[in-house]
Amino acid sequence: MLVTSKELLLDAQKNDYAVGAFNTNNLEITHAIVRAAEAKRAPILIQISAGAMKYAGVEFITMIVAKAAREATIPVAIHLDHGPDFKTVMVALRAGFTSIMRDASSLPFDENVAEVRKVVEACHALGIPVEAEIGTLGGVEEHVVVSERDALMSDPDECARFAEAGGFDFLAVAIGNAHGFYKGEPKLDFDRLAAIRSKVSIPLVLHGASGIPDHQITRAVESGICKINIDTEIRDAMIRTIQKFTQENPNQIDPRKVLAPAIDAMQAVVERKIEIFRSAGRA
Ligand code: G3H
Ligand code: ZN
């Protein structure tokens, strides 16, 4: 069933688990995500980015995801991932998204607050929750010196002021996480996460979770992360499986035959994540 993300994340916060937020671009990825969530009886968010909107067409991708969400036997929210501007937020709302992220984290503090507040006003009027971000994700490489690394991450006091001034529903934090695969083993800053948790009461979100070892994800969930974003590992499973299949079956030109094992591989990735996030059996 189609729901907003607010009820999902508040239940996760109350019961110490995290809801998986999985990115889609097309029918096959959407099927894989929903099949995994149904197999594991888990609530989920399906995320659509501005890039996915551009690739598939807003109406097409929303119709696919909304149909899947409505028919699903578990709760599903349709989430705008990294909303780049007010216009994209409006397009998403009109298309029927039930959860919005406005990512103005690259702007200075006051501008980030102003951008987010504008979106919060519009979304809350429609009963749609909003995620915002502070700090810088990605580019936090091993060679970066500690003071620079610190400067890029979310500052706990600033997080508190941001949540207070922004009036949004969920806060995405930068604690050593990065998008895409990591170079070397990522090290989440759990002291920083604990400090943020002690100063911010709304649910916290972890982006860039592909490639973070299971034990760190478990600790992040235990430390108050309520939504975890996965994109890269799904893409990787899809493309590697297609590559392997076409190498082994060079004469197979039926796309349904080529894509079926890729859907299974993506489903397996999502099922595993759901287990680690402790959201299995919560639907
Ligand atoms: O917003 C999307 C996620 O943060 C994706 O992160 O590249 O680690 O899968 P990922
Ligand atoms: Zn992200």
Residue to substitute in 232, 233, 236, 276 for testing ligand 1 pocket (most ligand atoms within 8 angstroms of CB) = 232
Q: What is the pLDDT of residue 137?
A: 82
- Give me the DSSP letters along 28-46: HHHHHHHHHHHHHT--EEE
Rounded alpha-carbon distances, angstroms, from residue 57 to 48, 49, 52, 54, 95: 11, 11, 8, 5, 11
Cα-to-centroid distance, 227 and ligand 1 (Å): 12
Q: What is the pLDDT of residue 145?
A: 58
* Ligand index nearest the alpha carbon of residue 178: 1
Determine how many CB atoms are found less than 10 A away from the CB of residue 237.
21
Q: Say if residue 94 is exposed, middle or buried (CB neighbours under 10 Å; 0-12, 13-18, 19+).
A: exposed
Residue to substitute in 231, 236, 269 for testing ligand 1 pocket (most ligand atoms within 8 angstroms of CB) = 231
Cα-to-centroid distance, 172 and ligand 2 (Å): 9
Cα-to-centroid distance, 250 and ligand 1 (Å): 32
- Give me the DSSP letters along 175-221: SS--SSS-SS-----HHHHHHHHHH--SPEEE---TT--HHHHHHHH
Local structure of 137: helix, strand or coil: coil
Q: Among residues of the chain, what percentage have pLDDT more than 70?
A: 95
pTM of the model: 0.96
**Residue 189, pLDDT above cutoff 80:** yes
Mean pLDDT for the stretch of residues 30-45: 98
Q: Is 23 in the pocket of ligand 1 (CB under 6 A)?
A: yes
Angle formed at CA 76 by CA 73 and CA 79, multiple of 5 degrees: 165
Q: Residue 146 and residue 134: Cα distance in Å, rounded?
A: 19
Mean pLDDT for the stretch of residues 42-46: 98
How confident is the prediction for the chain on average, in pLDDT?
Answer: 95
Q: Which residues make beta-bridge pairs with 205?
A: 172, 227
Instruction: Give the tens place of pLDDT for each residue, 216-243.
Output: 999 999 999 999 999 999 999 999 999 9
Q: Which residues make beta-bridge pairs with 196?
A: none
Q: Is 209 in the pocket of ligand 1 (CB under 6 A)?
A: yes
Class of domain 5-277: alpha beta
- 140 pLDDT tier (thresholds 50, 70, 90): very low
Give the catalytic positions in this structure. 81
Q: Is 180 in the pocket of ligand 1 (CB under 6 A)?
A: yes
Q: Which residues make beta-bridge pairs with 44?
A: 20, 76
Cα-to-centroid distance, 246 and ligand 2 (Å): 31
**Residue 184, pLDDT above cutoff 80:** yes
Residue to substitute in 230, 266, 272, 273 for testing ligand 1 pocket (most ligand atoms within 8 angstroms of CB) = 230
For the chain, domain boundaries = 5-277
